[in-house]
Structure 1
Amino acid sequence: MIKKVSQVGCIVILLFMGLSHNAFSQDYEFKKVSKEELSMSVYPQDTAAPAVYLHKSRNTYYEDDEVKGWVLYTDVHERIKILNKDGLDYATRKINLYLKGRLKERVESIKAFTFNLEDGKVKSEKLSKSGIFENMETDNRLEVSLTMPAVKVGSVLEISYRIVSPFFTSIDDVVIQEDIPTAHHYTKIQILEYFQFSRLIKGNFNANPKDYTDTRRIDFTYEQGGGLTSTTKDAAAIFEEFISEYEYMHVPALKEERYVDNIDNYRFTVVYELSSTKSQSGVVKEYSKSWEDVVATIYKYDGFGKQLERTNFFKDDLAGVLDAASGYMDRMNRIFDYVKSHMNWNKRYGMSAASGIAKAYREKTGNTGDINLLLTAMLKEAGLNANPVLVSTRSHGIPAYPTIDGFNYVIAAVEIDGQRYLLDATEKMAAPNVLPNRVLNWSGTMVMENGLSMSVDLYPKTISQVSTMLNVELDDFGDISGSVRANRTLLEALDQRRAFENESSSKIEEDLMDDYNLDLVSDLELKNLNDTSKPVSMSYSFEKEGAVEIIDGDIYLNPMFFLGMYENPFKLDERNYPINFVHPYMHRKIINITLPEGYSVTSIPEALNISLPDGLGAYTFNIGQSNGKLNVVCSITMKQAVVPSLYYDTLKEFYGQRVAKESEKVIISKS
């Protein structure tokens, strides 16, 4: 049964989005695809949709297996309409199955057809066994792919299958909102009286399910007697069952745009978490935990807390690292640099040490747990106040409820003179409090020896800066040449260091040509690429033919050239999830333009100075002319890493004004 219904923390806003929630008379019988469905060319509620779920249903329920005991069944039925060529991606349906040891989920009873309208008649083609593929994604995850036949724009796909799971205490999330709209969604979850679940809602909707209790009869057979006198008997058991039905019409697509951490955090989803089980004899076992319980459990892992006590293997090396060190800051920086240079990340995530920090140290490689727990152990051995910080990466999302699986990464935290420094030694180009983007996901949990834990804000407060100077010479043919010099600090510097790591100068020059649509880039110079204590400096020369418009002898030039923003990144009419810039930033550009001899300015854009409310940010654009030169000073500042969705309309207008201003032309004419 359901223990409680709750909304999930900061990522849920209680907004009822106008979904129809009632009983439906339409019958979605399998293979009964209509000519009207096949003739549909657009979905009226979302005319830009590449495809639409005409019907999406699921029924999850328990059955008793004589050998295996309780088994969880999930029956799925989907009908998808392909509306344009982008919707052809839905020609492949992927089913994920979980495996653990000798236990594994399986998919059975697969039925799938592609329907097309040909010469006014409905034609169908069945999925063959050759269109079904299996692939082991990880040690615990099997992916089954169904590649549908004869799919084209206008097709209707119909798929049904059953998942049989021995993991009867784990109910898969009910995903109600997809990347395409859903005309009709129906889910039925039937939970026997022996299992109690908490229910949590993710997304910007009110689930409003139909909940009720019913009784259910399960028939079974058993053997009576033994040997030659053994007989098979039929019997039945009556159980109480808690049922939830979720039914909706016209669920809108979850549309993603720029500046989002992980779109699945905001998808309309019902999450079921096992809270307790009850045996037939009435014995109750509790499963629900608090985050404090989860952290305490993780700390007791051999791969976590005990690793911090294993220091003998590095003591001699640590003494050499700290030789002549002065003060705690110097100690921290020396140890951090040493671990970064000594260890190599194998690109695997983990909140605990996979190999053990001693073995990883010997082999100079390990996962995130191996490396950053080693870093923490060294910092503690050096007398610093250091502790590990558990993290869920951006790709991992925000956990809906307290669970050990909610974390997949660990970093180190050091407290010096009231200042906290966050360190990640898997990133060789990182600096203290300059974490890679993958880690910047709301908050982490610092774990201390006394069993206590505390939340740690992972987003930086210091503004990362990019300062760019562009010098341009324009001739009367409309060609430009000049130079660029740019300096980057903190996370902006880290991004560039990672982008240019192991790249040759010629490859970087080619990339700059492609990125900015230039004809030639030369004389590239990079400074401090490997010195993380200093800003990264980059300079180069460039050339571009036909960079401006010439109409009736007048030259129309965009004074921002290839440094301007010409498209608003915010396009949605409504956005109900935060705008995530990853980190606070300031971008400042100075552009000096030398006009061709004999030309003067006849039209020039006006200055613009605008600010966001509550001190969130500001934008300035100023342009002037003097002695045959134009000078532009443009800057944008965003003071928060994450901006709440309530500011979306304001931010969209703010960026719209920026784009409009940077798109304005200067007109120059012959004197």
Structure 2
Amino acid sequence: MPRRSFMIQRCLLALLLCSSLLCFADDKPQDWLPVTPQDLQMKEVPGDPGASAIQLYYADFIDHKKKNESLYYRIKVLNNKGLKYANVEIASGESWGVKDLKDLQARTIHPDGSIVPFSGTPFEKTVFKGKGIKLTELTFTLPEVTVGSIIEYKYRIEWKHQGGSDYWILQHDLFTVKEEFNLRAEPPSPQHQVKWVRLATEANPTPADKENTSLKLENIPAFIPEEYMPPEYNYKPSIRFFYLPQHYTYPDVFWNEMSRGFSYFFEDFAGNSKETKAEAQRVIGSETNSEKQLKLLYARAQQVRNLSYERRLSRQEEKREDIKENKHASEVLSRGYGNRNEINILFVALARAVGFNAAMVMVSSRRSRFFNQEVLSLGQFDSFFADVIVNGQHTYLDPGTRFCPYGLLRWMQTSTKGLRPSTWGANFVDIPPFGQEKAVIRRNATMAVAEDGSVKGSLVLQFEGIEALEHRLEAMDNDDAGTKKDLEEEVKAWLPSNAVVKLKDVHGLTGTDEPLIASFDLEVPSFASFAGKRLLLPSYLFLPKRKDAFNHETRKYPLYFPFAFSELDTISFKLPAGFTAESVPAKDDALLPYARYHNTSQLADGQLVTTRTLLFNGIFFETDKFPNLKAFFSKVQALDEQQAVFQQGSATAEKNPGRN
């Protein structure tokens, strides 16, 4: 997880940019609300009698003046599935921006009105650890929770910085009977004002006075997510808050001013030093081909020590290693270190030095939400990369991302919006997606069928392009044991639950252009079955991955895949001695304008060999495409689940021998 660039911080201060709102109410803990007879008598969710639980009350009060936020939850368990809500997890720790979590209180209210307070101590659980960053949660379990119980808890977050929370989420995973919100604002100056944007909602906050803005809602339906939908935050009703100078409150004005400010910053950082020019000329040497020149400069930029992918150093360690703040690209070059954004600006400076038309682009990640131009926050842009004109075409390049090959970007930074800063104003650009050839998984399994129906053998797994890049970056957060565990669990998820998977070796974890290759030993008990003298053998080893997205006839939300992809599989099964083919699945395929599937099974030298290709060249599909996609993936699943039938001894006939 790259650490925040000092450049962004400098620009935010220099440009008086919006800070996010946060925090909250009185220092005194809020009293428990009365438990009403209606609360105790509630038996089911209106319109959804099978719901596991109902949220009777929710409150979110943000106090910017005191840099805190208070939350209150009251949930009633309606059936056994709802008992899970007794287990509570709360994000905590400095990596979340949380300075302290105070006044945690919790209790269980039984159907007869008796109350059991929580008297235990929450324990801290690490949910992520890597490169000096540790994400933790406080977890606890409410006591004596049964069906019909009301579970209730509340706490106050003390935020480390002013910008801890800048939004209200209005819809939750449970039907909510009543919810309340309040924002107590403190603009950074008299020239600033609060602005809010409503996202996927018509609810309108009400200014209570000069400081407070509030909202009350009732009977909010549960948010029901769907498999393979875009990030939920794009569809959950919410309200985002900003502090802005009064003349920045219109989107065009805001983005134009931000663009000008960042343009001045980038130009100042890139510079035009003689040292950068000399190095760029040295790197390209006598090379005259423009793209080859650019690749040489790209490789030179990637030689710089990338601090974004190292453990975060303490101030004492930085002083000991003489790590200083870079203010210009020439310093990145001379000192030999920089963060990912600084390395990308250095690359632009090198490219310009030998005549390329190169600029920086600020890019928004679509990992958790899509860019929204009405949300006036630079927090939507989380990184920069280079835009270079090569042979008349815009080429987006990111040497500042570790292991990123020339011509590739991370998936969340494609098919999204970018901002190319300039002195004349905002220039938004569409960062295009990559095709399926840029994200490839190849699986080659060689298995033998035992007399008890189990299969045992080996798998060679090869990741290419985006798949290789993402696996390499994930491995940086792990030791060898963690990487082994992650790869084994990934393969296990493709196989029946009783499969045994053991990683043998892995090559290319620290590479850039070459594939990442991992080899495994596999064993799947009871994979094949016997019916008399017949052996029933699935022709394909792996389970369908996307069937949950197509279990229903209609969808509410679009279908969304992180990136286009290719799956190229060859599976061979060596048969037990004495078995001959009775039937083998016929060659078949499925086709859409943006997807292709092909499956062929053949017999050769006592082996059943299945070759499978799935090419999918799309990311986002509106609901009107769902019927076609459902038909396509239903056929893919049906063909993947076909079986070959073999007979012990001499078969009287062979049907569909698989050579048609």
Work out the number of aligned pairs and report it: 586
The aligned counterpart of 2:388 is: 414
Say if 1:348 and 1:179 are closer, same or farther in 2 by CA, change over 3 A: farther
Cross-structure match for 1:87: 85
Q: Find the counterpart in structure 2 of residue 371 from structure 1.
A: 343
Partner of 1:233: none
Alignment of 1:269 with 2:238, yes or no, is: yes
Distance 1:285 1:427 in 2: 33
Cα separation, 1, equivalents of 2:369 and 2:115: 42
Whole-angstrom distance in 2 between the partners of 1:396 and 1:49: 27
Structure 2 contact 530–536 (Cα < 8 Å) conserved = yes
Q: 1:55 to 1:444 in 2, by over 3 A?
A: same
Which entry has the higher C-alpha Rg, 1 or 2? 1
1:474 maps to 449
Alignment partners' CA distance in 2, 1:471 and 1:437: 31
- Cα contact 1:566–1:662 (8 A) shared by 2: no
1:323 aligns with 2:320: no
Q: Give matches, 1:496-507, under 5 Å.
A: 497-498=472-473
Q: CA deviation at 1:309?
A: 0.7
1:114 offset after TM fit, Å?
0.8
Q: Are the equivalent residues in 2 in contact too, given 1:445–1:455 (CA < 8 A)?
A: yes
Q: Which structure carries more strand by proportion?
A: 1
State how far apart, in whole Å, the 1-side matches of 2:169 and 2:504 are. 53
Q: Quick one: structure 1 residues 106 and 552, their matched pair in 2 at CA, closer, same or farther if it must change by over 3 Å?
A: closer
Alpha carbons of 1:649 and 1:242: their partners in 2 closer, same or farther (altered >3 Å)? farther
- 1:605-659 Cα offsets, whole Å, 9 max, x none, are 45543334xx232333343446754343322221113333443454345333322
- Quote the residue 1:382 is aligned against: 354
Identity %: 16
Q: Aligned partner of 1:176: which letter? A: L
TM-aligned CA deviation for residue 391 of structure 1: 1.3
Give yes or no for contact 1:590–1:633 (8 Å, CA) kept in 2: yes
SS of residue in 1 equivalent to 2:114: strand
Shift, 1:434, TM fit? 1.3
> Secondary structure of the residue that 1:115 maps to in structure 2?
strand
Deviation at 1:298, TM superposition (A): 1.9
Q: Would you say 1:252 and 2:222 are equivalent positions?
A: yes
Following superposition, the deviation at residue 87 of structure 1 comes to 1.8
**Structure 1 length as normaliser, TM-score?**
0.70
Change over 3 Å in CA distance of 1:98–1:483 after alignment to 2? closer
2:312 equivalent to 1:332: no
1:306 CA displacement:
0.9
**Does residue 294 of the first structure (1) align with residue 258 of the second (2)?**
yes
**Aligned position for 1:67:** none
The 2-side partners of 1:568 and 1:487 are apart by 24
Matched, 1:494 2:469: yes
Change (3 A) 1:500 1:404: closer
Q: Does the 8 A contact of 1:387 with 1:412 survive in 2?
A: yes
Tell me, in whole angstroms, the C-alpha distance in 2 between the residues paired with 1:146 and 1:469: 42
Q: CA deviation at 1:209?
A: 4.1
1:346 match: secondary structure: helix
Asked if 1 retains the 8 angstrom alpha-carbon contact of 2:395 and 2:407, the reply is yes
TM-aligned CA deviation for residue 529 of structure 1: 6.8
Change (3 A) 1:493 1:117: closer
Match of 2:179, as an amino acid?
Answer: H
Residue 558 of structure 1, CA deviation: 1.2
Superposed, 1:419-568 pairs within 5 Å as 419-440=393-414, 442-448=416-422, 453-461=427-435, 463-464=437-438, 465-481=440-456, 484=459, 488-495=463-470, 497-498=472-473, 511-512=487-488, 515=492, 526=507, 532-533=512-513, 535=515, 546-561=526-541, 563-565=542-544, 568=547
Query: 1:590 maps to what in 2?
Result: 570
1:202 is aligned to 2:180: no
In 2, the alpha carbon distance for the partners of 1:107 and 1:476 equals 60
1:429-484 Cα shifts (integer Å, max 9, x gaps): 22223112343361222235765634131422463334444444435443545555
Distance 1:426 1:167, change over 3 A: closer
Asked whether the equivalents of residues 411 and 424 of structure 1 are also in contact (C-alpha less than 8 Å), the reply is yes
Q: Give, in angstroms, the shift of residue 292 of structure 1.
A: 2.6
With over 3 angstroms needed to count, the CA separation of the structure-2 counterparts of 1:115 and 1:469, relative to structure 1, is closer
List per-residue Cα deviations over 1:305-337 (Å, max 9, x = no partner). 311115344444434322233321111111111
Unaligned runs of 5+ in 1: 1-28, 63-69, 217-238, 278-283
Unaligned 5+ segments in structure 2 are 1-30, 129-134, 312-323, 651-660
Compute the displacement of 1:33 (Å).
Answer: 2.3
Checking the alignment, whether the CA contact within 8 Å between 1:311 and 1:378 is kept in structure 2 is no
Tell me what 1:176 maps to.
170
- Which residue type is aligned with residue 114 of structure 2? V
Amino acid at match of 1:207: E
Question: What is the aligned partner in structure 2 of residue 639 from structure 1?
Answer: 617
Partner of 1:657: 635
**1:505–1:151 CA distance, 2 compared to 1 (3 A):** closer
TM-aligned CA distance change 1:46 to 1:374, over 3 Å: farther
- The question of 1:342 aligning with 2:304 is answered yes
RMSD: 5.1
Q: 1:311 to 1:567 in 2, by over 3 A?
A: same
Deviations 1:160-188 (A, max 9, x none): 67889999999942210124442333446
- 1:444 touches 1:455 (CA, 8 Å); kept in 2? yes
